[in-house]
């Protein structure tokens, strides 16, 4: 069964689900005109490479580490409009007065934040441009990028995952600009995530781009769904890692990487 959102004349308020003639579930929404967000997306600092994004997305599917997603056919404006409409319903259900001038614009702000900022990494067309250069000098030692900022959201509660990533690779034929590693981490963090999958997605994206499995990814993060609710453990954090190639096979390489990373992790 496919979910087909349709945008119709907003004259009728309300929201309903009906079965279409072809038996697909038609999701009819009538966002009010003032929730319509026609603005251009917030400009992101990075340049994108949609074609690379499509190939990386396909590779992640093959590796079984893709984010569970369905194609909605919605463009960003439609997404913002739909999210704003639904978020207004959430606020109403919570008993918040949307006529209050402090709250009135919140649905729009949340919609814009979801689509253009904290979840922009759900769209493979936003994948960062990652031009590689040929490894002409034959550099074959470990390259480590430490303390990469990880700001993500857990997919179970939609609250913050806040941490750091440490990424290492040993160049084969290709070398990647170091800031591109940060961009790739950021791109995959900007989705609803679980830390394990985030770690794997970064690993395989780099593996695809650098054409090597000699890659190590470690993420250390605090989950605010643990910190602020549930067990309310304010001190615990979660460490995940994915090691490939020589990082997995060679004890000395692994120890060297862990030594570098542990000097960072230790307080
Ligand atoms: Zn959670």
Q: Say if residues 165 and 150 touch (Cβ distance below 8 Å).
A: yes
Do residues 224 and 104 both lie within one domain?
A: no
87 has pLDDT over 50: yes
Distances in Å between the alpha carbon of 94 and those of 35, 87, 110? 19, 11, 16
Do residues 143 and 225 both lie within one domain?
A: yes
Q: For residue 199, is it within any domain?
A: yes
Assigned token pair, 178: 């170091």
236 has pLDDT over 90: no
Q: For residue 74, is it within any domain?
A: yes
Alpha carbon of 195 to ligand 1 centroid (Å): 10
Q: Among 93, 126, 159, which residue terminates a domain?
A: 126
Range with lowest mean pLDDT among 31-40, 48-57, 194-203:
31-40
177 has pLDDT over 90: no
Output b/e per residue, 98-137; b: 16+ Cβ within 10 A: eeeeeeeebbbebbbebbbebbbbbbbebbbebeeeeeee
Of 30, 46, 86, 157, which residue is the catalytic one? 157
257 has pLDDT over 90: yes
CATH no. for residue 196?
3.30.1130.10
Distance CA 200, CA 182 (A): 15
Alpha carbon of 191 to ligand 1 centroid (Å): 13
42 has pLDDT over 50: no
Do residues 103 and 50 both lie within one domain?
A: yes
Q: For residue 102, is it within any domain?
A: yes
For residue 200, give the DSSP letter.
Answer: H
Q: Catalytic annotation on 30?
A: no
Residue 154's DSSP bridge partners are 193
Assigned token pair, 132: 């590689």
Distances in Å between the alpha carbon of 165 and those of 151, 175, 232? 10, 19, 24
Percent of the chain exceeding pLDDT 70 equals 80
pTM score, whole prediction = 0.82
Provide the pLDDT for residue 46. Answer: 58
Domain count, the chain: 2
CATH no. for residue 79?
1.10.286.10
Range with lowest mean pLDDT among 118-122, 126-130, 236-240:
236-240
Distance CA 205, CA 194 (A): 17
Alpha carbon of 158 to ligand 1 centroid (Å): 7
**Per-chain residues with Cβ under 5 A from ion ligand 1:** 154, 156-157, 225
Alpha carbon of 176 to ligand 1 centroid (Å): 33
Distance of CA 51 to the CA centre of its chain: 18
Do residues 140 and 240 both lie within one domain?
A: yes
Q: Give me the chain's average pLDDT, please.
A: 84
Question: Which residue range forms the structural domain that includes residue 141?
Answer: 132-265
For 92-109, how does the pLDDT look when each residue is reduced to its tens digit (9 = 90+)?
A: 999 999 999 999 999 999
Under the banding of pLDDT at 50, 70 and 90, the label for residue 21 is very low
Q: Say if residues 56 and 66 touch (Cβ distance below 8 Å).
A: no
Percent of the chain exceeding pLDDT 90 equals 70
Provide the pLDDT for residue 265. Answer: 53
For 54-86, how does the pLDDT look when each residue is reduced to its tens digit (9 = 90+)?
A: 999 999 999 999 999 999 999 999 999 999 999
For 139-167, how does the pLDDT look when each residue is reduced to its tens digit (9 = 90+)?
A: 888 999 999 999 999 999 999 999 999 99
Of 78, 112, 130, 154, which residue is the catalytic one? 154
Provide the pLDDT for residue 208. Answer: 97
């Amino acid at each position: 069964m496919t979910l087909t959102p349709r945008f119709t004349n907003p004259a009728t308020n309300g929201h309903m689900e009906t079965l279409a003639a072809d038996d697909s579930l038609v999701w009819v929404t009538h966002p009010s005109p003032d929730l319509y967000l026609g603005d251009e997306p917030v400009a992101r600092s990075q340049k994108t490479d949609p074609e690379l994004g499509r190939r990386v997305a396909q590779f992640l599917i093959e590796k079984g580490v893709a984010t569970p997603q369905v194609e909605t056919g919605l463009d960003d404006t439609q997404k913002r409009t739909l999210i704003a409409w639904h978020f207004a319903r959430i606020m109403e259900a919570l008993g918040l007065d949307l006529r209050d001038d402090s709250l009135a614009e919140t649905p729009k702000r949340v919609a814009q934040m979801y689509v253009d900022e904290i979840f922009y990494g759900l769209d493979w067309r936003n994948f960062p441009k990652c031009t590689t250069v040929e490894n002409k000098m034959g550099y074959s030692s470990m390259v480590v990028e430490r303390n990469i900022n990880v700001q993500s959201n857990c997919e179970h509660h939609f609250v913050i995952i806040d941490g750091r990533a440490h990424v290492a690779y040993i160049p084969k034929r290709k070398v990647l600009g170091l800031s591109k590693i940060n961009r790739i981490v950021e791109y995959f963090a900007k989705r609803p995530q679980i830390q394990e999958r985030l770690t794997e997605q970064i690993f395989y994206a780099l593996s695809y781009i650098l054409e090597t499995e000699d890659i190590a990814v470690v993420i250390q993060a605090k989950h605010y769904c643990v910190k602020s609710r549930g067990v309310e453990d304010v001190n615990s954090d979660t460490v995940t890692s994915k090691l490939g190639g020589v990082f997995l096979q060679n004890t000395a390489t692994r120890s060297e990487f862990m030594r570098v990373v542990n000097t960072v992790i230790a307080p």
